[in-house]
């Protein structure tokens, strides 16, 4: 197929395919599913060129939830105040189902969590706060605590890459995070402009514009950006292309490929995933963003039996589940295999 030959030459040097080429591939895939195997031949070689096997990324989290549910009403979030028709909030449902992670409210607790995840093979450790904006930098339960925790982790675990996921941050706050040792900011696009206009995003604390601005500001202060999407929000394959292209346009360095796992109230238009479509999506992401890390993160349990395919398609990292006695969000549904075994699978390909 001519388009595949052209793409092979173009992407080898690190240039991603454009919207027209992505849509042409999508049309070819819909006409003939066997195109996927031909794409794998390109994406596997492309991944080897730009992403050494020994740098396979393992992502982990530490959560600071403090006073229970978040005051905002993001319908897809497991700790939000969003309520279903029965009046039960997402946070209440998550608590009842045992989905909530262990809350961390001290610097020592974050260091302990980071050390625990490092022993499991994590290369990256992220502190997550739940509010829209960290308004009071001096609040020891919020931004101030995070800064102290990052500084302590950097001192004790200098080889662990530090990440922050804290919603909309100002340039000054981003600079302070950088000075504390943070190198990566996570503020995901989640989905396309079209899907953001649907009811699945009604009541969200952040808008798509907020997320784009946060990523822009992070880049301006010299932080790497981690921004991707959440499959299963009512999107189509074309919407995923939009997010890949936005990430490429902004020079996003790391792209989390999340799958929405809803235990929540009345969520509409949930997508039923065909395995081939998910693998094709990762392959498209790799072709659009040759040099960007693609992390199959939350919901990666879905890939448990097609993991080799996900890696061939272009995935270069994975979200780590955590130990039995101290997991991440159970609702994240991450693969149970130890990270060292996941790394072996990557090296064999």
pLDDT tens profile 213-237: 999 999 999 999 999 998 887 788 9
Minimum mean pLDDT among 96-105, 236-245, 307-316: which range?
96-105
Q: If you average pLDDT over every residue of the chain, what do you get?
A: 84
What pLDDT score was predicted for residue 318? Answer: 92
Structural domain harbouring 161: 2-348
Q: What is the pLDDT of residue 40?
A: 95
The gap from C-alpha 321 to its chain's centroid, in whole angstroms, comes to 14
What domain count does the chain have?
Answer: 1
Angle between the N-to-C axes of helices 35-50 and 2-12, in degrees from 0 to 180, rounded to the nearest 10: 10
Q: Write down the pLDDT at residue 87.
A: 84
**Residue range 274-321, pLDDT digits in tens:** 889 999 999 999 999 999 999 998 888 888 888 999 999 999 999 887
Backbone angles phi, psi at 268, to 5 degrees: -95, 155
Length of the chain: 349
Q: Which pLDDT belongs to residue 266?
A: 57
Q: Is the pLDDT of residue 100 over 90?
A: no
CATH code of the domain in which 149 resides: 3.20.20.70
pLDDT tens readout for residues 13-49: 899 999 999 999 999 999 998 899 999 999 999 999 9
Output the CA torsion 319→324→329→330 (10° steps): 100
Percent of the chain past pLDDT 70, that is, above it, reads 85
């Amino acid at each position: 197929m001519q388009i595949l030959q052209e793409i092979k030459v173009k992407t080898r040097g690190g240039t991603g395919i454009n919207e027209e080429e992505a849509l042409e591939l999508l049309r070819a895939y819909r006409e003939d599913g066997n195109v996927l195997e031909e794409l794998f031949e390109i994406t596997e070689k492309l991944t080897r060129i730009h992403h050494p096997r020994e740098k396979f990324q393992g992502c982990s989290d530490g959560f600071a939830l403090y006073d229970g549910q978040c005051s905002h009403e993001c319908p897809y979030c497991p700790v939000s105040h969003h309520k279903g028709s029965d009046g039960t909030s997402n946070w209440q449902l998550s608590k009842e189902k045992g989905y909530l992670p262990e809350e961390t409210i001290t610097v020592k607790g974050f260091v302990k969590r980071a050390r625990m995840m490092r022993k499991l093979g994590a290369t990256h450790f992220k502190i997550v706060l739940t509010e829209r904006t960290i308004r009071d930098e001096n609040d020891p339960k919020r931004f101030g605590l995070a800064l102290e925790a990052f500084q302590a982790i950097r001192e004790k675990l200098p080889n662990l890459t530090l990440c922050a996921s804290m919603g909309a941050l100002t340039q000054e706050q981003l600079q302070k995070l950088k000075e504390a040792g943070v190198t990566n900011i996570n503020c995901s696009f989640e989905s396309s402009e079209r899907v953001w206009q649907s009811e699945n995003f009604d009541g969200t604390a952040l808008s798509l514009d907020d997320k784009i601005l946060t990523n822009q500001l992070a880049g301006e202060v010299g932080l790497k950006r981690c921004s991707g999407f959440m499959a299963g929000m009512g999107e189509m394959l074309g919407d995923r292309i939009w997010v890949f292209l936005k990430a490429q346009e902004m020079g996003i360095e790391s792209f989390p490929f999340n799958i929405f796992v809803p235990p929540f109230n009345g969520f509409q238009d949930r997508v039923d995933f065909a395995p081939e479509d998910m693998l094709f999506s990762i392959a498209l992401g790799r072709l659009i963003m040759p040099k960007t890390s693609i992390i199959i993160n939350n919901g990666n349990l879905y890939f448990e039996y097609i993991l080799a395919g996900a890696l061939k398609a272009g995935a270069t990292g994975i979200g780590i589940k955590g130990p039995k006695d101290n997991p991440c969000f159970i609702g994240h549904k991450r693969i149970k295999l130890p990270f060292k075994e996941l790394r072996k699978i990557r090296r064999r390909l």
